[in-house]
Structure 1
Amino acid sequence: MTSTPTPKIMPLNKDVHGALKINFENPYAHVAGDHLLPVTAHEFIVAGAEYPIVFVKNEEKNTYQSVIMLGLSSKQNLFVKDGNWQGTYVPVAIRNYPLVLVHDQNDKDRLLVAVDETSARVGNDTGEALFNEDGTESEFLAKRKEHMAEFLELGQVTTKMIAKLQSLDLLKQQVLTLNVQGEERRINGIYLVDEQKLADLDDVTLVELHKNGYLKVIYAHLLSLQHTQKLVLRIAQAS
């Protein structure tokens, strides 16, 4: 069994990476073992039409993150096969890999575009060039940087929304109990919006959630939970 190389994330440098190209072979192999992937609030409606959306908690920081469920156990991604995505909607968070954003070691408030040099999608032979022959950024890289900046901005909006849900005590830890091939499986460590507490909110708060665009996001999350049963069906089909 071939082991996965440890990622080597290096800030882009035209002197070092001037000849680097990104190919599109097996574009999602890097998340084949991820059963949860982050999604922004702006993705809830379209992603929630296909995948269950839940929240996970960082106990140390007492913060939450919104994610889609792609499997029912650790390292189980039912939507990646042979490095390709099997679903209709691809989360924004994984579209730019092997390019990623990292904090500048000399200025933690500054973000830099970096590349995973160990990725099989990185090389000098085929694919989209990151730099032109004169050392300037290629159109491909410029567009990728725009996408990453947009995702970062959407992530900040999502963080603000989740903080609001947290302040209203709307996030409740739940255990999902599912029948997977005749065996009961309990999914722990996830948080859902508490429907009863949502219903008990006063009109002023509900109007505020609506005006901020949060209410439709909450409903998209709640409706998406029906797709947990689709994960069970995918497991059965794969066996």
Structure 2
Amino acid sequence: MADFQVITRERHGSQYWLKHSIYTFAAGDALCPLVAQELPKAVLSMPIGFIAEGDHFVPVAVQGLAAGRNLLVALDGRWLASYIPAPYRGYPFRMATTEQGEQVLCIDEASGLLSESAGEPFFNDDGTPDKAVLEILAFFNQIEANRQLTRSICAVLQQHGLIQPWPITVQGEQGEQKVEGLFRIDEAALNALTAESLAEVRNAGGLTMAYCQLLSMQHLSTLGTLAQAHAEAEKAQLTQASLAQNGELNLGFMSDSGTFSFGQ
């Protein structure tokens, strides 16, 4: 379980942090929030949808078809898509809001990426934040600034009736199941906009977001392929574990770096 703590000189002044190379921390995320700046790259490798947050919408990377399962993370922790959402690239850090409304930088102390002797320092000898920490802070500040723009774009799309429920049905072990809570662009409504409304959506940056979402839906079938590949990999893993308990072990399985990839 994650344990995010505010970075302070008192708590982290003599500690170091390590960069992550595996993504097991994201294995339970079926969805990940995206900002507008990310969409042109995210559209190349993953489905993008919208979810409702209160009375507004936000774009998300659709990483799985069932709650608590990220199909883009392999069993060994590798990331299987060509694009990695910003929150994952910033791990083990994230921003949080204090009770006073201030934005502060935090680190997941349960990540296993804190060290007493190796890695990047949090602070310099004079007590100032290290350059790498300042760069991470700037990265998250950029994301937060773009998040505000993203919300305003979504508001314009919503205002013009361009966001509609996205009906998705998947075939599971218990038959067909519906995926609830996702939304998509209404392409027919987009094409029916008046010249004035179309200009308003375009000037807000809404056309880029709309087209990215529509184009990204081609990757939805890849999630089904990945779900099957995960199931087969897990079955193979259980079989090898059973053989190992009985004194039989297929060493070829151990040397296999991966059983599936994120194809287009």
Same topology, TM > 0.5: yes
Deviation (angstroms), 1:179:
4.2
Contact 1:18 1:131 in 2 (8 A): yes
Rounded to whole Å, the distance in 2 between the matches of 1:14 and 1:88 is 36
Instruction: Quote the residue 2:81 is aligned against.
Output: 87
In 2, the alpha carbon distance for the partners of 1:117 and 1:204 equals 51
CA displacement 1:187-224 (0-9 Å, x = unmatched): 21111111121122111111222233221221110010
Q: List per-residue Cα deviations over 1:101-125 (Å, max 9, x = no partner).
A: 11122x21x2111222222112223
1:59-84 per-residue CA deviation (whole Å, 9 max, x = no partner) reads xx222221011111111111113333
Task: Report the equivalent of 1:165.
Answer: 157
More helix by share: 2
Residue 131 of structure 2: aligned partner: 139
Aligned position for 1:21: 16
Match of 2:251 in 1: none
Letter in 1 for 2:16: K
Counterpart-to-counterpart distance in 2, 1:24 and 1:93 = 14
**SS of corresponding position for 1:118:** coil
C-alpha displacement at 1:148, in angstroms?
0.5
Q: Deviations along 1:7-55, whole A, 9 cap, x unmatched?
A: 3322211121112222124442211110100111111121011100001
Question: Higher relative contact order at CA 8 Å, sep ≥6: structure 1 or structure 2?
Answer: 1
Q: Give 1:43-58 correspondences, 5 Å limit.
A: 43-58=38-53
TM-superposed CA distance for 1:182, in Å, is 10
Q: Compute the TM-score of the two structures, normalised by the length of structure 1.
A: 0.89
CA contact (8 A) 1:27 1:121 kept: no
Aligned partner of 1:46: which letter? K
Is 1:73 aligned to 2:66, yes or no?
yes
Q: Is the Cα contact below 8 Å between 2:157 and 2:201 reproduced in 1?
A: no
Structure 1 SS opposite 2:229: helix
Q: Distance in 2 between matches of 1:132 and 1:11?
A: 17
Question: In the aligned structure 1, how far is the partner of 2:29 from the partner of 2:117?
Answer: 29
Q: Distance in 2 between matches of 1:138 and 1:84?
A: 29
SS for the counterpart of 2:181 is: strand
- Give yes or no for the alignment of 1:114 onto 2:109: no
- Structure 2: stretches of 5+ with no match in the other structure: 233-264
1:32 paired with 2:27, answer yes
CA distance in 2, matches of 1:128, 1:182: 48
TM-score by length of 2: 0.81
Q: Which residue of 2 aligns with 1:192?
A: 184
Structure 1: runs of 5+ lacking an equivalent: none
Whole-angstrom CA distance in 1 between matches of 2:155 and 2:89: 26
For 2:168, the aligned partner's letter is L
| Cα deviation, residue 171, structure 1 | 1.2
Deviation per residue, 1:121-143 (Å, 9 max, x gap)? 12223222111222211111011
**Matched residues in 2 for 1:62 and 1:127: separation?**
43
The count of aligned residue pairs is 230
* Structure index of larger Rg: 2
Q: Which residue of 1 aligns with 2:147?
A: 155
| Partner Cα separation in structure 1 for residue 12 and residue 174 of structure 2 | 52
Q: Which has the higher strand share?
A: 1
> How far apart, in 1, do the equivalents of 2:29 and 2:204 lie?
31
Q: CA deviation at 1:147?
A: 0.2
RMSD across aligned positions (CA): 1.8
